[in-house]
């Protein structure tokens, strides 16, 4: 499944390709803002018979109705990084934030010691 953002507030969702009924799907977003496009994609996949729907995102902006949309959706879990602060009141049973600090620390160490990535 693909999506294409054609304007700030307009996204065109592609078709589901292949046999997905009874399979696991993973959705990964660069940014989860209001969650509208994400939840629409999840509902499309759930209707097509996907077994599980974990979601990942780099930047969990989670503004406006995002948290409610995700909690009320068939999403199994949402994991974002702490590149954007996710306040405790937005972390729910389904929504988790992981630290990127170990990745940055390792990159800095390797740069300092001249090691390759």
Q: Which of the following is catalytic: 3, 43, 90, 94?
A: 3
Give the domain range for residue 38: 3-113
Task: Write the Ramachandran bin of 19: left for phi over 0, alpha for psi from -120 to 50, otherwise beta.
Answer: beta
Q: Kindly report, residue by residue over 53-81, the tens digit of the pLDDT.
A: 999 999 999 999 999 999 999 999 999 99
Positive/negative CA dihedral, 49, 51, 57, 61: positive
- Whole-number pLDDT of residue 117: 65
pLDDT value at 43 more than 70: yes
User: What is the mean predicted confidence (pLDDT) over 87-115?
Assistant: 94
Question: Which of 10-24, 25-39, 62-76, 77-91 comes out lowest in average pLDDT?
Answer: 10-24
CATH number, domain with residue 62: 3.40.50.2020
* Distance, C-alpha 29 to centroid of its chain: 4
Pairing of strands 27-32, 10-13: unpaired
User: What is the mean predicted confidence (pLDDT) over 13-37?
Assistant: 90
Q: How many domains does the chain have?
A: 1
Note if 3 is an active site residue. Answer: yes
Assess contact for 41 and 13: CB atoms under 8 A: yes
Q: Which two tokens stand for residue 75?
A: 């999403």
């Amino acid at each position: 499944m693909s999506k294409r953002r054609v304007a700030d507030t307009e996204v065109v969702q592609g078709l589901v390709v292949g046999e997905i009924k009874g399979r696991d799907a993973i959705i990964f977003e660069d940014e989860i803002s209001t969650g509208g496009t994400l939840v629409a994609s999840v509902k499309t996949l759930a209707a097509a018979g996907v077994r599980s729907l974990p979601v990942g995102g780099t930047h969990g902006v989670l503004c406006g109705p995002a948290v409610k949309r995700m909690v009320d959706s068939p999403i199994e879990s949402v994991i974002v990084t702490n590149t954007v602060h996710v306040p405790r009141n937005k972390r729910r049973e389904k929504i988790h934030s992981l630290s990127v600090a170990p990745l940055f620390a390792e990159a800095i160490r390797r740069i300092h010691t001249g090691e390759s990535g």
